[in-house]
Amino acid sequence: MTTGYLANCGWGADLQTALTSDFFTFFHLRVAQTTETPQRSVLTYRPESKQFRTRVAVTLTMDGSGRFHAASLELDRSVIDDSMSDAQARDIVKSFIANALPQSDLEGAKDWVLDIMQRDSEMERLVRGAAGPEEFQKAIMAKLAAGQPVSVVGGGKGFERRAEGPATEGFLVFSGQQKECELALDQSRLRLANHDLDGKLTLQVSVAPSA
């Protein structure tokens, strides 16, 4: 059913609820730019962290009644392609999708999100390379003892099990192997696209109501 706005999002029904949600507080998002008209408000948020402030942006578009009309995440591809920040990139993309989508549409996006979270991740490689829990634990401890980072991306929001089979379009776009893709859900549309933004290669993840 199409409502013309994003109903029952993971971060709540209004802006104030969203700003106090785990998504905004965990990533320390602060308002960076606002554009107001009688019909629409567009608000852009960026992390407080200097490392990501210019490389991550979350934009919310509100209608004249204060309802979510659309949401987008822009992520500099340097965050995704750097092994030191790959886990953070996966985490914010997963969390954005889980919160921006109407909750009734989560199941339809599950395979894409699981693939982005886990396919070719360091955690998956460690799990597959270990004969059992003890060997897996030893692999983690050995990396830590050598001063090497261990990137772990967890589940949550209903995304507990890894998708099997060939890579999804969502993962192919996230990893830079495909330019764009779109998933039509019951109440919303989820779109991932790689594009050039002011001279920077950027992944954009957007959610809008179904047409």
Give the pLDDT band of residue 198 (cuts 50, 70, 90).
Answer: confident
pLDDT one-digit tens code per residue, 70-97: 999 999 999 998 888 888 999 999 999 9
pLDDT one-digit tens code per residue, 97-149: 999 999 999 999 999 998 898 887 655 555 455 555 566 556 656 655 665 54
| pLDDT above 90 for 61 | yes
CB-CB contact of 77 with 205 (8 Å): no
CB-CB contact of 60 with 183 (8 Å): no
Residue 179 domain-assigned?
yes
Percent of the chain at pLDDT > 90 equals 50
Q: Give me the sign of the Cα torsion angle 111, 151, 121, 85.
A: positive
Domain count, the chain: 1
What pLDDT, on a 0 to 100 scale, did the predictor assign at position 161? Answer: 44
> CA-to-CA distance for 211 and 201, rounded, in angstroms?
28
Residue 1 domain-assigned?
no
Residue 30 domain-assigned?
yes
> CA-to-CA distance for 192 and 95, rounded, in angstroms?
14
Residue 8 domain-assigned?
no
- Rounded to an integer, the average pLDDT of 175-187 is 95
Residue 9 domain-assigned?
no
- Rounded to an integer, the average pLDDT of 160-168 is 66
What pLDDT, on a 0 to 100 scale, did the predictor assign at position 157? Answer: 39
> CA-to-CA distance for 58 and 204, rounded, in angstroms?
10
What pLDDT, on a 0 to 100 scale, did the predictor assign at position 133? Answer: 53
Q: Containing domain of residue 156, as a range?
A: 15-209
- Rounded to an integer, the average pLDDT of 24-51 is 92
Distances (CA, A) of 53 to 19, 31, 43, 88, 202: 17, 11, 15, 13, 14
Q: Which of 70, 60, 178 is nearest to 115 (CA)?
A: 178
Q: HSE on the CB side for 161, CA within 13 Å?
A: 4
What pLDDT, on a 0 to 100 scale, did the predictor assign at position 121? Answer: 64
Query: What is the torsion angle, in degrees rounded to the nearest 10, for the CA atoms of residue 181, residue 109, residue 91 and residue 173?
Result: -20
> Tokens at residue 83, please?
């092994």
Residue 6 domain-assigned?
no
Using DSSP's 3-state secondary structure scheme, residue 97 falls into helix
Amino acid at 48: E
| pLDDT above 60 for 165 | yes
Residue 170 domain-assigned?
yes
- Rounded to an integer, the average pLDDT of 192-202 is 92
Residue 4 domain-assigned?
no
pTM value is: 0.80
Element holding 60 (H helix, E strand): strand 56-63
CB-CB contact of 77 with 56 (8 Å): no
> CA-to-CA distance for 192 and 50, rounded, in angstroms?
25
Q: Return mean pLDDT, the chain.
A: 82
Give the pLDDT band of residue 199 (cuts 50, 70, 90).
Answer: confident
What pLDDT, on a 0 to 100 scale, did the predictor assign at position 40? Answer: 87
> CA-to-CA distance for 81 and 175, rounded, in angstroms?
8
